[in-house]
Amino acid sequence: MSKKVSLTGIKPTGQVHIGNYLGAIKQALQLSEKYDARYFIADYHALNTVRDKEEMSQSTYGVAASWIASGLDPEQVLLYRQSDVPETFELSTFLMAFTAKGHMNRAHAYKDKSAKNQADGKDADFGVNMGLYTYPVLMAADILLFDTDIVPVGKDQKQHVEICADIAGSINHCYGEELLRIPTPVMNEMTETVTGLDGRKMSKSYDNTIPLFMPPKKLRKLVMKIVTNSQDMEEPKDPDTCNVFALYKLFADEQRQEDLKARYRAGGLGWGHAKQELFEILEETFAAKRDKYDELMADTSYLDKVLAEGATKAREIASATIGRLRKASGIGSL
């Protein structure tokens, strides 16, 4: 019996950060042990905000290099670039005909943007392009094209997978056969608990991220900027309310967590000491991966080869899906 399919995508918008690693990359790589894992770089999704050619190119390479440096084996799983699979955009057009406008009105990305505009005294649709508005449809095409069973997501993306399932269900019902596999969102609570430099959820939109593969000196300097309270060094401190410890516990084993908790509560631990502990465990976790990442980014020919081979494999799967839909709908048939 063939494995079920897991699909994960990351937008090439800025540097990959530790929130991406914990919330998407690490979990997705773990899923590859049980699922037929497929990973893609969502460059057309990124086009909504990234308009600089060099930034798009470098960020795309950066995502591919981050996956591979973190342990992805292109010989064992599928890695491809969204824009290399034109069937994605044919399917997106097909899905538009079965997508209720109300779904787009209620999609969280559009609602959040509209709400912010209104709070700022602007028109609700100020700065809203159709790429943002129809984002869930393109995401549905990404998912449905590859016969996806599960999609690991955070809370904010769960709605989009549910919209995808609704669209697929409508198409299957219309043509009286299972043309598209109905996906299931798999919730990843980690994406809700990765704390940024300022104590909010780590996010590029908050400019509070810690890039995954920063040089050691820059990494340490950034870690030292994590927001803490004004307690003196000698005062006992609560690790459970500390932004530094919130990150530390995501990388430390249980014993190391308990040891550092004891130092917090005993007093005599300054914030600089706590941040140094975090810096050291980040170095332990990512130093070797950073070396691999730097090697890949220094000569991107290997990444080009991997993405080209991934595109060929991806299009074989995608063309089969499009073929089913064309046959069932009468489109393109004589």
Residue 1 pLDDT: 55
Q: Is 14 left (phi over 0), alpha (psi -120 to 50) or beta?
A: left
Residue 292 pLDDT: 97
107, two tokens = 């999609």
59, two tokens = 């960020």
* 113 assigned to active site: yes
Residue 333 pLDDT: 63
**Identity at 151, one-letter amino acid code:** V
Distance CA 29, CA 66 (A): 12
Distance CA 244, CA 278 (A): 7
Residue 154 pLDDT: 78
* 237 assigned to active site: no
Residue 169 pLDDT: 97
DSSP H or E segment with residue 41: strand 36-41
* 34 assigned to active site: no
Burial (CB count within 10 angstroms: exposed 0-12, middle 13-18, buried 19+), residue 186: middle
List, for residues 216-258, the tens digit of each pLDDT value: 999 999 999 999 999 999 999 999 999 999 999 999 999 999 9
Distance CA 153, CA 151 (A): 6
Is the Cβ–Cβ distance between 144 and 152 less than 8 Å? no
Query: Looking at 11, 113, 237, 275, which residue is catalytic?
Result: 113
Query: Looking at 201, 237, 261, 275, which residue is catalytic?
Result: 201
What's the distance, CA 194 to chain centroid?
A: 13
* Contacts (Cβ under 8 Å, ≥6 apart) of 33: none
DSSP 121-172: TS-TTTT--HHHHTHHHHHHHHHHTTT-SEEEE-HHHHHHHHHHHHHHHHHH
Residue 192 pLDDT: 60
Residue 129 pLDDT: 93
- Supply angle C-alpha 251, 152, 280, rounded to 5: 15
Query: Looking at 4, 26, 204, 292, which residue is catalytic?
Result: 204
Distance CA 269, CA 254 (A): 19
* Contacts (Cβ under 8 Å, ≥6 apart) of 115: none
Beta bridge partners of 37: 6
Beta bridge partners of 80: 40
Residue 153 pLDDT: 85
Q: Which residue has the tokens 């004004």?
A: 230
169, two tokens = 């269900």
Residue 161 pLDDT: 95
What's the distance, CA 166 to chain centroid?
A: 22
Residue 205 pLDDT: 81
Residue 250 pLDDT: 94
Is the Cβ–Cβ distance between 144 and 169 less than 8 Å? no
Residue 189 pLDDT: 64
Residue 23 pLDDT: 83
pTM > 0.85 = yes
Is the Cβ–Cβ distance between 169 and 182 less than 8 Å? yes
**Taking all residues of the chain, what is their mean pLDDT, rounded to a whole number?**
93
Nearest to 292, CA basis, from 212, 209, 223 = 212
The low-confidence residues of the chain, meaning pLDDT below 70, are: 1, 188-192, 333-334
Q: Is 330 strand, coil or helix?
A: coil
